[in-house]
Amino acid sequence: MTKYDFKAIEGKWQSKWEEEKAFEAKNDYTMPKFYALIEFPYPSGNGLHVGHPRSNTAIDIIARKRRMEGYNVLYPIGYDAFGLPTENYAIKTGIHPEIVTERNISRFRAQLKRLGFSFDWSREISTTDPEYYKWTQWIFLKLFEKGLAYKAEIPINFCTSCKVGLANEEVVDGVCERCGGEVVRKVKSQWMLKITEYAQRLIDDLDKVDFIEKVKTQQRNWIGRSEGAEVDFKLDGFDKTLRIYTTRPDTMFGATYMVVSPEHPVIKELEDKIENIEEVKDYQQKAARKSDFERSELAKDKTGVPLKGINAINPATGKAIPVWTSDYVLMGYGTGAIMAVPAHDTRDYEFAKTFDLPIIEVIKGGDVEKEAYTDSKNGELVNSGFLNGLTPKDAIPKMIDFLEENKIGTRKVNFKLRDWVFSRQRYWGEPIPLVHCEKCGWVPVPYEELPLKLPMISDFVPSDDGSSPLARATDWVNTTCPHCGGPAHRETDTMPNWAGSSWYFLRYTDPHNDNELASKEALDYWLPVDWYNGGMEHTTLHLLYSRFWHKFLYDIGVVSTPEPYMRRTSHGMVLGENGEKMSKSRGNVINPDDLVDEIGADAFRMYEMFMGAFDQPIPWSTKGARGCYKFLDRVWRLQEMICDEQGIRDDMKFLVHSTIKKVGEDFERMKFNTAIAAMMSFVNEVYQKGSITKDELTVLLKLLSPVSPHIAEEMNENIGNTQPLYNAKWPEYDESALVEDNVEIGIQVNGKVKTRIMIKNGLDKAEIEKLVIEHDDVKPFIEGKTVRKVIVVKNIVNIVVA
């Protein structure tokens, strides 16, 4: 009996799988299909993180099980390789990003291959490959064609350190998500994508898919739909109205002042009429200088300035109310102006208290002396004319009807979601395939000229004025207009790295197609993705963006499903051994290579799954990982315990079949830790027994093979099975074998467990009751007491005595 030599075994089977093309998806579109997907990694210079294999192994287990169940499985891999870290590295070292990317990908590929994932390597892609980004550009041009890509002068989030514009989603706590640099607002001309046009559908279609609830909730909150009304307030003494948005039209009788955002155009329009215009302008400037971080940090203290001389008429009461400006009202949401109802809105309340503005209670139910009463369902309207006596819930529609009848307002739905800032002033991204011509404006690069390749340059440092490094590649920038032939220049901004990842799962279905992003047949067969696992951090970024692109492609007939992913699950983060997030600065990063050297890929994979509940964050434990090695070594030595008997022995039937059931069901529920525990129990019992048959062992190896495939294949071969496990049939359990002859039942007296007894299985309740009451072990607990009731449930009997 040889030692468990995981190095030799793993190398041997990895080569074998490759030679036999064991995991290549078949282009046989008549077979039942299963598309398993993980988020393709960003090939960073640090190599694989122990978090990657958690998602990869989980879906690998599912993919391998599906193959054994007869599905044509697509489990692809690729690299999301455009992006800032590579570019920053290039700036620091002078090595071209293309070379860095190539190097990083090689390292990732080697690390992934070492772990024995059943990826279809023949479909490997990289977003930086011109043959790939040709189609990223193609989709962009389609969006442009349909009016969903537009250029706008907007205040953007600008990272002062990366010198790059960021999407709202990339600003975390007021600082840059990637580098932690300060983010300020800067007005720039940017390409935007109209994701807001899909806002309603992105919410509605969540009902069609099986995503974990957390993801759905987060997406809904991010899209932030609200129903309300837009109302025009007349400005006293002017032929002019100020439009506001409110979700609480029922409180309109309590609107005692109005507030406009500092960026609101009305200030400019009424410049001459505002008596304290200098003070107002000063406030505007201060607000503009504030970074987002400062704006939110200072949120506690309300600031503002009245627009002296400007009053509005409350359309409900007919009374004149003052107009203020304050940065607690945002230009980007609603109309940039609000009616302030201090009695029933927390922010308005604070503002009114700060500036001593009147507070009128219009809903009874709280104590407006102390705080705003904001319940939009309960309470009773007062001081509100025709709404008096109603609850807010009933008053809202009634007020909207009133506004619509009198043509001063309309029903209106608003979303928090903003359009997607799509331009980056960076080098290492897909060039935006547009040309600007003085005469013709923005003109698309003709489809037949795609891919528009990134020019080779050697200086990637972004300019201080925030323009892209590509602007300096004048040979490339200066071109002719595809429309009129006149002089023109290319767009020098590039796409964000969310572009390539928004559709990569489509390319996998037909990755070498030169004529289309993928053939219709391939797309129709493989889509939607059956099971997609990835990180929660991508919920409002990648996951939302790719749903948007997919819906657009659905609308133009490229794909046939309205949603890209049927099922979405999420893994918990792997923390350092000290329970903190793994990071270089904390010094608690675990390098998978070292551990794989020590315990092998099979044990490593197993530990990744065994360490804890899949969806919870779990601290790493290298000792725990070594425990999995110990278990596999124990499995290995089962070969010495094979006996001459055949088949599954009677006294093993229950164990074998209940383990098949448990492992299979737990895999499907992503309860990998308890599935592995069941296999450990199985092995413990075999050790107790001292022997195992070849057939019993074969079952165990099949169950083990999705988690630790190399050792399972090797042992399977050793014991004389000729069919490799990767295309063996997944074992089925026999229901009748799950019924034991005798069962242990727990005896409770008044709900507390007192003892346990063995009884024959299959008795009815009355028989069990009789048996229990008369049982010698039970008697002491009920002697001299009156039995009030006996409850028999499954394997518990509860005797209620007095």
Separation between Cα atoms, residue 685 and residue 692, nearest integer Å: 10
Q: Is 479 in the site for RNA (CB under 7 A)?
A: no
Please choose, out of 386-394, 585-593, 651-659, 793-801, the segment that lies near RNA by the rule CB under 7 A: 793-801
Asked whether position 626 contacts RNA by CB under 7 A, the answer is yes
588 binds RNA (CB under 7 A): no
Out of 155, 366, 617, 664, the residue judged to bind RNA by CB under 7 A: 617
Site for RNA in 150-179 (CB under 7 A): 168, 172-173
Tell me how crowded residue 756 is: count the other CB atoms within 10 A of its CB.
11
Figure out which of the listed residues 688, 722, 736, 742 binds RNA, where binding follows CB under 7 A.
688
Give the whole-angstrom CA distance, residue 299 versus residue 454: 43
d(CA 39, CA 61): 16
| Cα–Cα distance measured from residue 48 to residue 67, given in angstroms and rounded to the nearest whole number | 26
For position 639 contacting RNA by CB under 7 A, the verdict is no
Query: How far is residue 335's CA from residue 344's CA, in Å, rounded to a whole number?
Result: 20
Q: Please name which of 295, 289, 281 lies closest in space to residue 325, comparing C-alpha atoms.
A: 281
In the complex with RNA, the residue whose CB is nearer, 375 or 767, is 375
The angle formed by the CA atoms of residues 395, 401 and 405, to the nearest 5 degrees, is: 145
Site for RNA contains 354 (CB under 7 A): no
What x-and-dash track marks residues 539-558 binding RNA by CB under 7 A? Answer: -x------------------
Write b or e for each residue in 273-293: b if 16 or more Cβ atoms lie within 10 A of its Cβ, otherwise e: ebeebeebbebbeebeebbbe
- Cα–Cα distance between 245 and 284 in angstroms, integer? 22
CA distances from 550 to 77, 139, 562 (A): 19, 10, 7
- Binding piece for RNA, criterion CB under 7 A, among 9-17, 432-440, 606-614, 650-658: 606-614
Total of chain residues touching RNA, rule CB under 7 A:
87
The region of 210-218, 421-429, 582-590, 768-776 touching RNA under the rule CB under 7 A is 210-218
270 contact partners, CB below 8 Å, separation of at least 6 = 235, 238, 240, 307, 310
Answer yes or no whether residue 336 interacts with RNA by CB under 7 A: yes
Contacts of 669 (CB under 8 A, 6+ apart): none
d(CA 620, CA 597): 17
Q: How far apart are the first and last CA of the chain?
A: 64
Instruction: Spell out, one character per residue from 411 to 430, where the chain touches RNA: x when CB under 7 A holds, - when not.
Output: ---x-x--------------
Choose the stretch contacting RNA; rule: CB under 7 A; options: 54-62, 404-412, 655-663, 672-680: 672-680
> Under the criterion CB under 7 A, does residue 671 sit at the interface with RNA?
yes
**Residue 680 within binding range of RNA, rule CB under 7 A:** yes
375 binds RNA (CB under 7 A): no
Tell me which residues in 488-527 interact with RNA (CB under 7 A): none
Q: Is 689 in the site for RNA (CB under 7 A)?
A: no
Helices 601-610, 6-19: crossing angle, 10 deg rounding: 90
- Closest CB 277 distance from RNA, rounded Å: 22
Query: Is residue 618 involved in binding RNA (CB under 7 A)?
Result: yes
Q: Is 718 in the site for RNA (CB under 7 A)?
A: no
Nearest approach, Cβ of residue 576 and RNA (Å): 12
User: For residue 608, is it left (φ>0), alpha (ψ between -120 and 50) or beta?
Assistant: alpha
CB of residue 218 vs RNA: minimum separation in angstroms? 5
Footprint (CB under 7 A) of RNA, residues 419-478: none
Report 267-326 residues binding RNA (CB under 7 A): 295-296, 298-299, 302
Rank residues 168 and 479 by Cβ distance to RNA and give the closer one. Answer: 168
Shortest reach from residue 791's CB to RNA, in Å: 4
Q: Per CB under 7 A, does 57 bind RNA?
A: no
Distance CA 621, CA 612 (A): 11
Closest approach of RNA to the CB of residue 445, in Å: 35
Cα–Cα dist 535/572, whole Å: 8
Element (H, E) at 113: helix 97-114
| Of 494 and 497, CB closest to RNA | 497
674 in contact with RNA (CB under 7 A)? yes
- Whole-number CA gyration radius for the chain: 33
Mask: binding to RNA, 239-278, rule CB under 7 A, as x and -?
Answer: ------xxxx------------x-----------------
Instruction: Give me 315's structure tokens.
Output: 């359309």
